[in-house]
Amino acid sequence: MRRLLLLVFLAATGCEWIADPQNFTREDIPRFKAKAEHPAPIENPTQLKVMAWNVKYGACRVDFWFDFWGDRVQLSTAEVNDCLTKIAALIKEYDPDILLTEEIEVGSKRSAYVDMVQFLLENTNLRYAAYDETWDARYVPSEGVGRIQLGNAIFSRYPIVKAERIRQEDRTDQDVLTKTFYIKRAIGRAEIEVGNDRRVAAMVVHTEAYDFDGTKQKQIKQIFDVLKAEQLPWVIGGDWNELPPVCDEKAEPTSAEGCEGKLRLSGFLDERASSKGTEYEQPPYTPSVMKPYYDDFEPSLPLARYGVGDAAQRPFFTHTVLGPDGVNDEGTPGWWNRTLDYLFVRKGEVWSNTDVLQEPGRLGITGDPSRLSDHAPVVGTWSLP
Amino acid sequence: MRRALLLCVFGLSLAAFGNPRPAWDTADTGNKGSYSIGVFNPLRLAFTDRLELQAHPLFFFVAPHLDARFAILKNPVENGEPPTGVRLTAEAGLLMPTLGMRLMKGFFFPTWATSTNDVGFMLIPRVGLLVSGNFFTHDVATFRIEGRMRIPIGPNSATPLNSFLAPLEIVMAAPLTGFLGRAGASYDHAFGDTFRLRGEVNVYLTGQQGNLVAGGINQGVIAEINPFIVTAHLNLDIAVFKHSRIAVGVLWANYDQGASEVRTGADGFSERVRVRSNNILPTLDFIWSGF
């Protein structure tokens, strides 16, 4: 009976999922390549420049309804192309060997059905890409969102010889209808041939942002386990939607391990009161869940450099919902106000020239990342083991 | 289930077996006093032998509308007898869809909670022309052309749905793209007195997606969608009771919903190509008629 219903449903929608349930544990994903000629990368490199960036579906600083600073649901073609052109220009300025992107879309109504993977392939020096789809709905019947095809992507100047995605846990705190049309999460993994028969693994992640049932924490733990099991030299980047483990949020706030004065856990300048009680309310952060990463892996920005307290940490914040051209309800202009994005490699390996590209001038860039997404790119040079 | 079967058998046994039911959705207009109504088919009332008015009771109170059908060419015919000769009928109507569209806010349209954007008021006039002719006494071929356009009354922030249902795209085309044109043909064949089989094809042309206006500012052109929608409908009428029928069928629709698919080449690398989408939908109605 179930199969019959499924067949009837698929027939009604012309054999296309109305919302892909993504029933896989681990599966291969498509690889793409640039049609345009790009300069060849250095042969047999000893180091790779890596960039991780949540590109906010090419919306730049347009505030969507779930941001609570605006109520847009859709972009014009010109808006998307203009934003992507600037994003591509910034990527080209930094010129990474590996780019790890989240919230990249390939056929969504809200981003004018632009294939952003191909756009970046044609307009940067990156020659190969693997697209890890995490949200594929023929029509999301909420706020006129419509068709959504969103995911993470791994770009490389060196050939991607294998690509796959590893399914992450779904939320359990949603009704069936919401869950059906909601984003799924997956770890994107690509094997990259860097010469001399050497392969490295590049991974990209984007964990849950709005759950109140511990889904994000489970996903972060799963990513940790996948990294522990990885056989190739690896680099991972992405948006963990979690703060760095400067302190333990479970400890008494004023104790030695507590967070008071060391790390802001709530009351960020870009949080709007009207978001409270909605499905886009910011759940409490649990930075301690990131501690194993700092203990067992090599972050691009170690905690010693990150510092203690807002003032020290400010240069390394990677996220703000409110852009620099907006002001919050207290009249404070928007600016990066927390760190959610990271790069890690295996323990003992070496990072150099690491930074968060918050504004023009950082590592010599002239583009302005604060106007290109609600996340700043995290970058670093990874010395190959 | 048993009751439904009994009712069906009882209905069929009451079916009039003098002539088959007349073909529906043709250029034919009823004689004065005749009517028909379905769950999804409109209420149609003949006020004279040449003039009918029609409306959908289901939608009337959320999207007030009225259509008039005027027989330009029609041979006089007795009730229940098959029409003869070539029939030519003009249609004209007016629709005000705003209230219904506003009820869809939060689902198909944004809530626009932090701005004054909204679905605007508008009128949708409609004109059409149908021509029908008989073959083999009871078979009817019909050709139609139709056009609808939007007359805006004040600002409007609603943009095309690009939804997963082609029929919804057709219904919303004029309010959201400003235009809907239709050219169609159908052939309706009688199998004895009880069954009619109807095949229909339509080509629709919608307006452009238009510009995206947010906060009163034109943000540029909305992504292009191919404006052609093609549908084919196969329907079986089963005569029941004295003048009524059950209509069951299947509708296929082909349209652009922004879909793409990944095609992998011999080198293992893939390419994303834009494709058109399909709907295959069951249709079901009970059409009750009388004179």
Domains of chain B, by residue range, sit at 13-290
CA A320, chain centre distance (Å): 14
Q: What does pLDDT average to over chain A?
A: 95
Residues from chain B that touch A115, judged by Cβ atoms under 8 A, are 260, 272
Cβ–Cβ < 8 Å for A163, A180: no
- pLDDT tens digit string along A363-376? 999 999 999 999 99
DSSP letter at A168 equals -
Structure tokens belonging to residue A276:
């409270």
Q: What are phi and psi of A33, to 5 degrees?
A: -140, 160
Could you tell me the end-to-end alpha-carbon distance of chain B, in angstroms, rounded to an integer?
Answer: 31
Structure tokens belonging to residue A150:
């969103």
**Cα gap B78→B88, rounded to integer Å:** 18
Structural domain of residue A46, as residue ranges?
26-383
Cβ–Cβ < 8 Å for B128, B134: no
Task: Write the burial class of residue A359 (CB in 10 Å: 0-12 exposed, 13-18 middle, 19+ buried).
Answer: middle
Q: Three-class SS of residue B243?
A: coil
- pLDDT tens digit string along B273-286? 999 999 999 999 99
pLDDT at site B12:
47
Count Cβ atoms below 10 Å from residue A309 Cβ, excluding itself: 12
Q: At what angle do helices A77-94 and A116-123 cross, to 10 degrees?
A: 40
Q: Three-class SS of residue B229?
A: strand
Distance from CA of B41 to the nearest CA of A (A): 21
Task: Write the burial class of residue A209 (CB in 10 Å: 0-12 exposed, 13-18 middle, 19+ buried).
Answer: middle
Residue B95 pLDDT exceeds 70: yes
**Cα gap B112→B155, rounded to integer Å:** 14
Number of domains chain A is built from = 1
Residue A34 pLDDT exceeds 70: yes
Structure tokens belonging to residue B157:
């922030």
Pairing type for strands A341-346 and A234-239 reads antiparallel
The residue assigned the tokens 């990259």 is A192
Compare CB distances from A77 to B108, B223, B277 and report the shortest one's residue. B223
Residue B55 pLDDT exceeds 70: yes
Q: Which 244-303 residues of chain A touch chain B by CB within 8 A? A: none
Count Cβ atoms below 10 Å from residue B17 Cβ, excluding itself: 11
Cβ–Cβ < 8 Å for A189, A220: no
A15 is a domain residue: no
Q: Three-class SS of residue B171?
A: helix
pLDDT band at B290 (very low <50, low <70, confident <90, very high): confident
The dihedral built from the CA positions of residue A329, A332, A334 and A340, taken in this order, carries a sign that is negative
Residues from chain A that touch B212, judged by Cβ atoms under 8 A, are 74-76, 79
DSSP labels for B11-73? HHHHS--SSPPPPSSSS--PPTT-EEEESSSPEEEESSSSEEEEE-HHHHTTS-EEEEEEEEE
Distance from CA of A343 to the nearest CA of B (A): 27
The residue of chain B with its CA nearest to that of A30 is: B270
Residue A142 pLDDT exceeds 90: yes
**Cα gap B278→A303, rounded to integer Å:** 53
Q: Three-class SS of residue A119?
A: helix
**CB pairs < 8 Å spanning A and B:** 119
A275 is a domain residue: yes
pLDDT at site B2:
53
CATH number (1.10.40, 2.40.230, 2.40.50, 1.10.3470) of B13-290 reads 2.40.230
Structure tokens belonging to residue A366:
């002239």
- pLDDT tens digit string along A83-112? 999 999 999 999 999 999 999 999 999 999
DSSP letter at A128 equals E
- pLDDT tens digit string along A146-189? 999 999 999 999 999 999 999 999 999 999 999 999 999 999 99
Contact between chains at A76 and B159 (C-beta distance less than 8 A): no
Residues from chain A that touch B277, judged by Cβ atoms under 8 A, are 14, 16, 138
DSSP letter at A319 equals B
**Predicted structure pTM score:** 0.93
- List the beta bridge partners of residue A199: A193
Q: Which 147-166 residues of chain A touch chain B by CB within 8 A? A: 147, 149
Compare CB distances from A146 to B161, B219, B269 and report the shortest one's residue. B161
**Cα gap B243→B79, rounded to integer Å:** 11
Contacting residues for B282 by C-beta, under 8 A, at least 6 apart: A12, B248, B249, B250, B251
Question: Which residues of B touch chain A, with CB atoms under 8 Å apart?
Answer: 106-115, 117, 159, 161-164, 211-212, 214, 219-224, 257-260, 262, 264, 268-272, 274, 277-282
Q: What does pLDDT average to over chain B?
A: 92
- List the beta bridge partners of residue A221: none
Distance from CA of B143 to the nearest CA of A (A): 27
The residue assigned the tokens 């959908």 is B56
Residue A233 pLDDT exceeds 70: yes
- pLDDT tens digit string along B13-32? 444 446 788 999 999 999 99
ipTM of this predicted complex? 0.91
Percent of chain B with pLDDT over 90: 80
- pLDDT tens digit string along A309-366? 999 999 999 999 999 999 999 999 999 999 999 999 999 999 999 999 999 999 999 9
pLDDT band at A13 (very low <50, low <70, confident <90, very high): low
- List the beta bridge partners of residue B149: B179
- Strands across the sheet with A128-140, in order? A350-356, A378-383, A47-54, A98-105, A146-156, A128-140, A31-33, B269-274, B260-264
Contact between chains at A71 and B264 (C-beta distance less than 8 A): no
Count Cβ atoms below 10 Å from residue A278 Cβ, excluding itself: 11
pLDDT band at B40 (very low <50, low <70, confident <90, very high): confident
Interface test with A, best of B103, B159, B212, B277 (most A CBs within 10 A): B212
Mean predicted confidence (pLDDT) in B54-75:
96
pLDDT band at B216 (very low <50, low <70, confident <90, very high): confident
The residue assigned the tokens 């098959």 is B82
Residues from chain A that touch B109, judged by Cβ atoms under 8 A, are 143-144
Compare CB distances from A109 to B109, B258, B282 and report the shortest one's residue. B258
A13 is a domain residue: no
Cβ–Cβ < 8 Å for B231, B253: yes
**Cα gap A305→A307, rounded to integer Å:** 5
Contacting residues for A43 by C-beta, under 8 A, at least 6 apart: A195
**Cα gap B222→A144, rounded to integer Å:** 14
CATH at A58: 3.60.10.10
Ramachandran quadrant class, A292 (left: phi over 0; alpha: psi -120 to 50; beta: rest): alpha
**Cα gap B286→B232, rounded to integer Å:** 20
Mean predicted confidence (pLDDT) in A42-46:
96
Q: Which helix (H) or strand (E) holds B250?
A: strand B244-255
**Cα gap B119→B105, rounded to integer Å:** 9
Structure tokens belonging to residue A233:
């030299």
Contacting residues for B96 by C-beta, under 8 A, at least 6 apart: B63, B64, B65, B121, B122, B123, B124
The candidate with the shortest Cα–Cα distance to A120, out of A151, A154, A76, is: A154
Q: Which helix (H) or strand (E) holds A218?
A: helix A215-229
Q: Three-class SS of residue A304?
A: helix
